[in-house]
């Protein structure tokens, strides 16, 4: 298949990944009519911009797996942007619960390579990955969901760079109706950054509410 940015499928992928990165904006991004809703079960969501501050590693892995499985039940592809430590744990649990053939609809991308493909934290690195994420014969009407574990070296530097594209980010997040989860290690981000993130998401995963 010849890939083109005019292809509706690739455009949907692009938008979905853009949303995953956009969630880093901490100032000035306010969605129209946005009300943050806390949820205990990721399986209950089919669309929306979801924020997740995690503390428990086992619960985090379980939530990623639940996210993938609920997507498969809807015939959706899942793209998981994750670090090298969590990817093997997620794959191991998925293989216990999902047939190998169905796992072809799940693509993993190393989050460091994804966000720092050019040697620096850049949104532009997203576009380099899209044509190679999903194998096989792609159709224009495929549904994609994304889960991105966002990590960086310097919070202030990341915030400054992302602010440069703030207006475009606000438009994309407001107009799209996809399911995109942005996950953060709760211990690695400041109170101020958390407050900013809460302003640009529709849903907040309540890890404490899980049994």
- Which domains can be identified in the chain, with CATH numbers? 8-209 (3.40.50)
Output the pLDDT for position 192: 80
pLDDT at 28 over 50: no
CB 56 within 8 A of CB 209: no
Shortest CA distance to 98 belongs to which of 125, 72, 137?
72
What phi and psi values does residue 116 have, to the nearest 5 degrees? -120, 35
- Round the CA-based radius of gyration of the chain to a whole number and report it: 16
pLDDT in the model for residue 29: 38
**Sequence-ordered strand ranges (E) for 35-171:** 37-39, 48-54, 77-82, 106-110, 144-149
pLDDT tens digits, one per residue of 29-55? 343 445 789 999 888 898 888 889 999
**Over the stretch 150-207, which tens digit does the pLDDT of each residue have?**
887 666 666 665 544 333 434 454 565 678 888 999 988 888 878 878 877 888 998 8
Residue-wise pLDDT for 125-145, tens only, equals: 444 554 566 555 445 556 788
Confidence band, pLDDT 50/70/90 cuts, at residue 87: very high
In this prediction, residue 164 carries a pLDDT of 45
pLDDT band of 80, cuts 50, 70, 90: very high
Mean pLDDT of the 83-108 span: 95
Backbone angles phi, psi at 109, to 5 degrees: -130, 130
Residue 167, pLDDT score: 37
Higher pLDDT, residue 181 or 93 = 93
Q: Give the pTM.
A: 0.76
């Amino acid at each position: 298949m010849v890939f083109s940015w005019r292809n509706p499928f690739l455009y949907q992928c692009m938008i979905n990944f853009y949303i995953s990165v956009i969630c880093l904006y901490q100032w000035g991004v306010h969605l129209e009519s946005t009300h943050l809703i806390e949820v205990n079960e990721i399986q209950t969501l089919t669309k929306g911009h979801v924020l997740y501050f995690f503390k428990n590693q086992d619960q985090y892995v379980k939530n990623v797996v639940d996210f993938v499985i609920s997507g498969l039940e809807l015939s959706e592809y899942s793209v998981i942007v994750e670090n090298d430590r969590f990817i093997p744990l997620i794959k191991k649990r998925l293989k216990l619960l999902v047939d190998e053939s169905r796992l072809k609809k799940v693509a993993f991308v190393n989050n460091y390579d994804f966000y720092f493909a050019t040697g620096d934290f850049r949104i532009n690195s997203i576009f380099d990955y899209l044509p190679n994420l999903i194998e096989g014969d792609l159709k224009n009407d495929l549904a994609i969901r994304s889960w991105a574990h966002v990590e960086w070296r310097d919070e202030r530097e990341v915030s400054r760079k992302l602010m440069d594209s703030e207006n475009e980010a606000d438009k994309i997040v407001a107009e799209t109706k996809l399911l995109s989860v942005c996950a953060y290690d709760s211990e690695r981000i400041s109170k101020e950054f958390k407050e900013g993130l809460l302003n640009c998401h529709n849903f907040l995963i309540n890890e404490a509410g899980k049994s």
